[in-house]
Amino acid sequence: MELLNPSLPPGPAGDQFSGFSPPTNFQRGFDRRSWMVSSLPPEIFERGGDKVHVAVGKSVEKAVELIHWALHRFRNKEICIVHVHRPSPLIPTLLGKLPASQASTEVVSEYRRGERQHMRKLVFYYLSICCQSKVKASVIATEAAQVQCGIVDLVNKHGIKKLVMGAKTENCMKVRRSSSKASYVAKNASPFCEMWFVDKGKHFCVRDAFEGPSIFETFGLP
């Protein structure tokens, strides 16, 4: 596994990613559907092992809270950033925002290129937080129409055993009943994956890893 150790400023300011220039090998690790940062063969990289995977989105504030929680909870464990890029269904044009199917191929391609460049800078910033804490870090990412489906696919494909993700709820029963991303992932991801749900930097729920239907156990706030 490649140990990334970028030299970056302590945090975003103004345009939070304008000054970032990921290494060439980081940029080459991305393609249209599935990206990985790794120096190992895919069959080795895909084993979830004992790494702690942290699912992060486009909200920098929420992502940083999740990463900091994981770094504190799983001290000295290898962290793997999990990100699902959802292409925007609307494309800005001279006529206003149009569905991607109605915009010209050239305009869509250029806009998608910009989206992916921004996503790379975003993920690289998340990685830098782990590296500044002197924790071994990596990233797996994919592109999907629905974020929750992309997370489930990555959990199953890479054999993820430990997953941390955000959830906007008050207790585990609401997670189970709701139609949120967290609920979908909890219900559909591999039963071998243990999941921690975190809200505003506080752990409130876990789905244990086991063979069988999803079971939730509530935990007190740390």
Q: Please report, in tens digits, the pLDDT of each residue of the chain (222 residues total).
A: 333 334 343 444 333 333 333 444 343 333 333 344 333 333 334 345 589 999 999 999 999 999 999 999 998 899 999 999 999 999 999 999 999 999 999 999 999 999 999 999 999 999 999 999 999 999 999 999 999 999 999 999 999 999 999 987 655 555 555 558 888 998 899 889 999 999 887 767 777 766 544 444 433 334
CATH T-level topology, domain 24-218: Rossmann fold (3.40.50)
- CA 183 vs CA 111, 157, 163, 196, 201: distances in Å: 31, 19, 13, 12, 19
Structural contact between residues 69 and 203, judged by C-beta atoms closer than 8 angstroms? yes
pLDDT of residue 219: 38
pLDDT for 63 equals: 95
Backbone angles phi and psi of 116, in degrees to 5: -70, -35
Helix or strand run (H / E) with residue 35: strand 34-37
Query: Which among 43, 55, 62, 86 has a CA at the least distance from the CA of 193?
Result: 55
Q: Please tell me whether the overall predicted TM-score, pTM, comes out greater than 0.85 for this model.
A: no
Q: What is the pLDDT of residue 182?
A: 87
